[in-house]
Amino acid sequence: MRYSRVPEDATLPAVVERDERETRLEDLRGREKAHSREGDAIAAERRRLPMVEVDASLELVGPQGTTTLLEAFDGRRQLLAYFAMWHTGSPASEQCPGCTWCMAHLGELSYLHSRDITVAVLAQGPYDEGRRYRDFMGWSVPWYSALPSLDRLLVGRARGMMHLVSYVRCRDRVFETYWTTRRGVEVLDSSYRLMDLTVWGRQERHEDSPDGWPQGWHNVDGEHVLCHDGRPIAQWARVESGCDDSLTG
């Protein structure tokens, strides 16, 4: 079996009557509501950040060859670009598990499109390899290589990191309005958010959990918590269904 099971004898919370549990839950609910309100306030401040202009003609490589940042908007007013890390020349199994985790959640985009937002991957590697990886994973998110313009697109930011950048278009001019990295890109993910609602959480060693909670997902000799048996977790279903994971022609 590719995926781990929580042991049957794993520690569980105390068992109480429903009324007692609901009282504790109501106390927690107050903190959750405060957390939501603070998130709303932060989002309101984010909308008020000043922006900087970016050269709209910066080159990308896409399915039709050389294109531009402006064309990546696909006619919409806003663009959310995920700058995927890339290990050029490496096989699919050695590509970034964190970026695979993020991009695997970019499925249904119509809700974003309805608000005039395009989502695209601007990979930090060659287009042909990245396109094969996208096809192997069965993704439909628009994919480009940002290699020709990385130094100007990621100004002042370390290349190779996970970056999510928000742009807005005003006719033929492009402006950067926000960017985030590391845990900030968890906004792309739903799996972790759902794990956080379960009794054992993410089952990772960094979490503040009671003694005895299963926390077997951690880094060992460089193995990422988003890998299993030497591959990013999302790849196993594709491999086992017979999909070709070769990234070189």
The 3-class SS string of 155-202 reads CCCCCCCCEEEEEEEECCEEEEEEEEEHHHHHHHCCHHHHHCCCCCCC
Length of the chain counted residue by residue: 249
Q: What is the pLDDT of residues 26-84, one digit of tens each?
A: 999 999 999 999 999 999 999 999 999 999 999 999 999 999 999 999 999 999 999 99
CB 116 within 8 A of CB 77: yes
Q: What is the pLDDT along the chain (249 residues), one digit of tens a residue?
A: 456 678 888 889 999 999 999 999 999 999 999 999 999 999 999 999 999 999 999 999 999 999 999 999 999 999 999 999 999 999 999 899 889 999 999 989 999 999 999 999 999 999 999 999 999 999 999 999 999 999 999 988 777 788 999 999 999 999 999 999 988 898 998 888 999 999 999 888 888 899 889 888 876 554 567 777 778 888 888 888 988 888 876
- Cα 35 from Cα 32, distance rounded (Å): 5
Kindly report the number of other CB atoms within 10 A of residue 196's CB atom.
10
The encoded tokens of residue 228 equal 């299993």
Long-range contacts of residues 173-180, Cβ cutoff 8 Å, at least 24 apart: 173/53, 173/56, 174/53, 174/54, 174/55, 174/56, 174/69, 174/70, 174/73, 174/79, 175/51, 175/52, 175/53, 175/54, 176/51, 176/52, 176/53, 176/54, 177/49, 177/51, 178/46, 178/49
Rounded-to-integer distance, Cα 188 and Cα 166, Å = 13
- Please choose, from the candidates 120, 119, 145, the residue with its C-alpha nearest in 3D space to the C-alpha of residue 131: 145
pLDDT for the residue 1: 41
Quote the pTM value.
Answer: 0.90
Nearest-angstrom CA–CA distance, 84 and 98: 9
Under 8 Å CB-to-CB from 129, ≥6 apart: which residues?
86, 88, 89, 247, 248
Please give the pLDDT value at position 158.
73
What is the per-residue pLDDT for 230? Answer: 78
CATH architecture of the region 52-188+232-240 = 3-Layer(aba) Sandwich (3.40)
